[in-house]
Each structure stands twice: as C-alpha cells, then as structure tokens.
Amino acid sequence: MSADPRVSIHPDSTVLMAAIAARLITKLVDIQDRHGEATVVLTGGTMGIGSLRAVAESPAAKAVDWSKVNFWWGDERFVPADNAERNARQAHEALLSRIPVDPARVHVPGSTDDFGSPEEAAADYARRLADAAAAEHAADMSDDRPEHPGRLPRLDIVLLGVGPDAHVASLFPEQAGIREKELTVVGVQNSPKPPPGRVSLTLPAINTALEVWMVVAGEDKAGAVGLALAGANPVQVPAAGPRGRRETLWLIDENAASRVPEQLVRKGPSGA
C-alpha cells in the first residue's frame, strides 16, 4: 500500500527550508519516541543541503537524540571522497559535523577511493543495507516480526530533490536506473548531469520508505513538478514514481508550484 501525494506550498525557498527542518526535527522525535531510533535517507542539492543547514541552526534540534539516528543517502557522486560535489561531504559540513552523531550510523556510499566502478560501489551499498536489515530483524522481538529479513532496513523518511528534467536521486528519464525492478541500488555510468558516475537507490527501494518527502524550489522545476503530480509515467518522469507507504509529501515553494493540479494544493507558511 502506498500513499497518494499531498502538496504543501510555501512562499519562498528560505521559508520552505525552515519548514522542512522543523518538520524533520518533529518527525524524528516522534519516531524515536515509538522505536528508540530513526532512519532518514538524505538528499543533496540546494534544497536538501539547505534544509540540513536549517536543522543544524534550529534550537529545536537538541530535542533529537542524534546518536540514535541512522543516516543513508538516496544517491551519491562516484568521485573521490573529498570531492566538494559529494552529497555526503556537503551534508557533513551542513549538519553532521554540528550534531552528536554516532559515526557507525552514518552510511556513506563508496567513492572512487574504494571501488573501481559505480557498479562495485552500488553492490557494496546494497550489501550494507541488507546487513542493516538483518541486524534490525535480529533485534525485533515484536509479535509481527517477519520470518526472514528483507533487503532493506526500515526507512522512516526518504528526502528527495527533483531536477528540471524530473530526475530523482540519480534516476534519470529513460535510463536503465529508473527501469530497474529487482536491485535496491544501481551504479550509473552515463548520467546526463555531471559527474557521469553515480550510485543510486532504485525506485523499488525508495518506495519501501514509510514517508517520502519531495523537496523542491524554483520556477525551473515547475514543469517537472506538474508532470509528476499529474500522474506521468515514471520512466519518462522519474519524479512521478516515489510513493511512501504512509505518506508522500511534496514540500515546494510557490515558484515550483505554478503547474500543480489545484485539487492537490495545500498552502501554509509552516507546512504543518
């Protein structure tokens, strides 16, 4: 079962980033109250990194037990680990270096320092996700514990940006990654957006998340947002594909919302 999209529109990107930060802090506290720990999948880009910076700057951030938050990434550039384009490096500078994280809970996709190809890095990332799922399964003492572990741990929140071409993570229109049905992680060799080599969660992996938050700002994204919310085919419009099992939330600014179907719109300064 997956949730139909819900749209929350904010006046501009600055307000939007603050709203995403407030929502993320509140949600992580709620999840930790229920489960003791929480898992979030981060995204890069202006909105993704700006929202993480807003989390770090929020006085409410201290309400989260950051030592019990698991961090993964939806995609990563296959370049050296210290490259400024790495999502993980930008997230470290914006947030992770400013909060008391447990380094063992920060799961960064491999780089060219570690692997010879994006496919090798993708296979390693998939293995680490499966190991986390097995550990989670072993620790589950509940009555509804599944008989066997899955290939992915519980993903509470997946954050995703959207490109002007409607790509999400590193799943680009018409390419093999968006067509993948079996793998949880793919290596990308021919990204139309540099750098060409990337590692990305697949759509089936993303759609195991309890909540998917699409975070988008800018007039240049309006066409992609409109097509995605109109129900386009994900092969041509990858942003149409992500669906959280409990919630699919589009957090966007007014510039990105100009082509959103009216029946989906919910306006509010806080996004609450």
Examine residue 271 and state whether it is found in any structural domain, yes or no: no
The predicted structure's pLDDT at residue 140: 72
Examine residue 243 and state whether it is found in any structural domain, yes or no: yes
Mean pLDDT computed over every residue of the chain: 94
pLDDT at 24 over 80: yes
Q: Which amino acid would we find at residue 251?
A: L
Examine residue 269 and state whether it is found in any structural domain, yes or no: no
CATH assignment of the domain containing 128: 3.40.50.1360
**Residue 253's pLDDT band (boundaries 50, 70, 90)?**
very high
Helix (H) or strand (E) holding 126: helix 118-139
Name the residue with higher pLDDT: 269 or 68: 68
pLDDT (tens digit per residue) in 93-106: 999 999 999 999 99
Helix, strand, coil percentages for the chain (3-state, nearest 5): 40, 20, 45
Average pLDDT over residues 246-256: 97
Peptide bond into 234 cis (omega under 30): no
Examine residue 272 and state whether it is found in any structural domain, yes or no: no
Predicted TM-score (pTM) of the model is 0.94
- Structurally, the chain folds into a number of domains equal to 1
Average pLDDT over residues 136-148: 74
pLDDT at 144 over 80: no
Could you tell me which residues are beta bridge partners of residue 216? 252
The predicted structure's pLDDT at residue 149: 75
Residue 28 belongs to domain spanning: 5-264
Label the pairing between strands 75-77 and 198-201.
antiparallel
Name the percent of the chain lying above pLDDT 90: 88
Q: DSSP class of residue 21?
A: H
Q: What does the alpha-carbon distance between residue 221 and residue 47 come to, in Å, rounded to a whole number?
A: 12
